[in-house]
A and B are shown apart, each in its own frame.
Chain A
Amino acid sequence: MYFIWEKILQNKAVSTASSRPHRRLIFLAAFFALWCVTICLRLFWLQVVAYGDYSQRAARQQQRSIEVSPVRGNIYDRNGNELAMTAQVDSVFAVPSEISSVPQAAAQLARALGADRAEIASRLRAGHAFAWVARKIDKDASARVRALNLKGIYFQKESRRFYPKQQLAAQVLGYVGLDDEGLGGIEHSFDERLKGQPGRMLISMDAKHRWFGRVEKEPDPGENVVLTIDENIQHVAERELDRAMADSHAEAGTVIVENPHTGEILALANRPVFNANSLNGAGAKYLKNRAVSDIYEPGSTFKLVTLAAAIEEKLTTPSEVVDCQMGSITVNGLLIHDHKPYGLLTVAQVLENSSDVGAIKIALRLGDERFDHYIRAFGFGSQTGIELPGETRGITRPASRWSKVSIGAISMGQEIGVSAMQLVSMATTIANDGVYMPPRLVAGVTAPRSAQQSITFHPAQGRRVISTNTAAQMKRMMEGVVLSGTGKKAILDGYSSAGKTGTAQKVDSVTGAYSHRKHVASFAGFAPLNDPAITVLVILDSPEGAQEGGLVAAPVFSRVAQQVLEYLNVPHDIELRDPKRLTLRAQVKTEDVTEGAPDRIVGEAETAQQSAPAPVAASETKLVPAAYRPAGNPAPPPAAAAVPAPVPVRGTIVLDAVGGIAVPDFHGKSLRACLEQAQTIGLELEVSGSGVAQSQSPAAGARIPPGGHVTVRFGR
């Protein structure tokens, strides 16, 4: 412009008469100047004045804010095996406005997903911009929907919870809802720590919705929970419980395996059970954890509390002779019969034979207050504090509200409601030399990305209930129950064992009275005797046919304890294949294991039953009365059992703990360093991955024969 203007001025200086060419140039210049100014003004308007509005519009078009779901933490067993994990799966959604024919699309989708066509069609019609078609579907279903290549159908990744061990420890682990919120078990109890914190992502997209930038606040993944459960012990417990359920056709069952010294729950099995991978409308019957939420009258197993309290108070000794009055006793005007007319029995024999009269006489020495004190000291009437939801505290009335016959009823396990967890804790207290250890299911919580997934368990504070001396006497008497009493089926091969059987009547929900047909068979015991490694409780609800605890529950204890002790490498304290012990176990008759009073405590007992507070509403809890065996209705005798033949030893597995080479610790070393070290000491390495050593098998310190193989996994 300037140069044109200069030229104009120059030309004007030399121009002659006519000024027309100058005027044209001026007009042209003015026109261009005006055009330029207009453009500049417009630019100023767009980029300065209207900057805010246009940048907001651009941001709305190009940017999206997305909440990023955190990855839910895993649940591990005590050895680091995954019991619950999260993985991404496809969810299908539709943009209904893009679908040309809703009925046709619904039909195709229904076929691919195996879902209801009408429901899919109604969902597609309900929304305009977005409609879920199916959420968290498996890979095969996702592939089928992709193959349809339907317009308006899109996929989105969502997290889904998987339980790789299927129904193992299902009630312990619990389950999650559609939005990954914990709804039962550990998933519910530790939901806050497992779920983590969501993050946010601000993404920039182009016109083709491709992402070209993002600013993210990373989500905080959930923490991992490590249980005290041992996957293999749990499997043994569940397998034997399944076998017992199949043999006895019981309605329900529970097996608990506990470490008596620390209170760690090694296995907690319930039947019936569900598979959390596909709930399919499983009801409360399957979902509830009977071990903590169901209450039942324990029956003869409660005699352990009666006798332990009396011995602790020095009111009796195991060798004291008690007159069982040929099987009947009058307590404050009420006649109570024993299941057999016993005469003189020692206190130990009272326990072995489960004499109700003997137990009542011992309890009468205690009195209401002292007896109630010991009941509560053993943990009854309060929650154990185990990390599971829905735990009941049972039904335990204070001594001030006992009737005149309560002491007699409670001494033989009636008029009191307990949970399986409370009962196993009672047995654990005796096994742990009189110290009550609160049962615990969670070893700890680890950081989200921590490689180490097994941690040291710190037991809760224990409290002394009975003296070591009393506990030792109780252990001896409980061993007598197994060797000479109603618990012969609990004899182990190569290990000593001790326990108490229980056969408790259930209340008939129709009549409100004790049922003659339905019982709860139980056995609580521990092994080995002198330094118990495990406490095991077995409960079978309403077995058919044989219903005595000694016949139905004790064998389950025997199988579970035998396998678990072998698995834990507990040294044998008894000679293996002792023919006397094996014969004792094999030749058990029904009359040997019968226990409980043949007659109910009429009147007072029924009044107490009806006045008991209602059971926990969330479960099908029923109060189950104490053992009952009508004198004229004995159970059919079991089939004669032959002495078991010695197991043929086809081969031997040898564990040479002295010889061999100790496996070094390869953790954190490079591949080359590992190979050199392995070569030096004469081991074969099998490697996978790249980077530094992350894990190895066998573990560091294990002994293997020279030339043995060690597998090392590398990673970054």
Chain B
Amino acid sequence: MAARELNITGMITPVRRSVAGITPEFYFAKAIDNSRLVLAVDPRSRREIRILFSSACALFLVLMFYTWQHFGALEYGYKIEAQKSEYERLVESNRALKLEEAQLRDPGRIELMAREMGLDSPSPGQIVRLESDVPGVQVVAQATPIAVIPAAQ
């Protein structure tokens, strides 16, 4: 019955199987050769598939680009924050160093250290100023072992 419905051609090798009380069934192995079958090209289908594939690729690329930008921005945000924190840390470090410098320049501290080294304040007249015709000019002091003794003495 199945063979008739399917309209099969070719070599038929019947195989008989019989089971008691049941109508014997015949199985036929059929060798089908489709080598001469040529599938017709469906240009419409091919075009549709191309469009589908291109759209999927484009969507994929857009999604990838968006994701790349998004996570890239987050990464840069982290880096910028790190740099800002580093900048703030350096500014604060600079301020702390200025504070330390000011503490080291405390006149009381310097005087204590000077006295411990055996230094003393110059007595009146121990600093000799050579007159300058430019008032208010700063002059760096030089020490000399030569003692200047005023003529009055």
Contact = CB atoms under 8 A, between A and B. Distances in A.
Given A82-B98, A87-B96, A566-B122, A657 B144 contact: no
A164 B132 CA distance: 36
Nearest to B107: A235
A557 to B, nearest CB: 15
**Among the interface residues A206, A652, A657, which one has the most CB atoms of the partner chain B within 10 A?**
A652
Contacts of B98: 82, 85
A652 B137 contact: no
A650 B141 contact: no
B108 A698 contact: no
B21 to A, nearest CB: 31
A285 B139 CA distance: 43
Given A87-B99, A214-B84, A654 B141 contact: yes
Interface in A569-592: 569, 571-572, 575-577
Contacts of A165: 102-103, 106-108
Given A88-B92, A162-B99, A653 B122 contact: yes
A703 B144 contact: no
Given A85-B98, A164-B102, A577-B153, A654 B144 contact: yes
B95 interface: yes
Contacts of B129: 569, 571, 655, 657
B130 interface: yes
B23 interface: no
Task: Kindly state the interface size class of chain B when it binds its partner.
Answer: 35 or more
Nearest to A2: B48
Interface in B101-138: 102-103, 105-108, 111, 121-134, 137-138
A705 B84 CA distance: 46
Contacts of B124: 493-494, 562, 566, 572, 576-577, 647
A324 B102 CA distance: 57
B152 A575 contact: yes
Given A85-B99, A210-B78, A655 B127 contact: yes
B141 to A, nearest CB: 5
A658 B107 contact: no
Interface in A68-83: 71, 81-82
A276 to B, nearest CB: 13
Contacts of B130: 654-658
Contact of A214 (B81, B96, B103, B121): B81
A701 interface: yes
A427 interface: no
Nearest to A651: B145
A82 B99 contact: yes
A647 B140 contact: no
A708 interface: yes
Contact of A168 (B108, B131, B144): B108
Contacts of A81: 102, 105
A164 B103 contact: yes
**Among the interface residues A86, A654, A703, A708, which one has the most CB atoms of the partner chain B within 10 A?**
A654
21 contacts: A85-B99, A87-B92, A87-B95, A87-B96, A162-B103, A165-B106, A168-B108, A213-B77, A232-B107, A235-B111, A239-B111, A562-B124, A577-B150, A649-B149, A653-B127, A654-B128, A655-B127, A657-B131, A657-B137, A704-B140, A708-B140
Given A71-B95, A212-B81, 17 more contacts: A85-B95, A165-B106, A212-B77, A212-B78, A213-B77, A235-B107, A239-B111, A494-B124, A562-B124, A577-B125, A653-B127, A653-B143, A654-B130, A655-B127, A655-B128, A660-B140, A699-B138
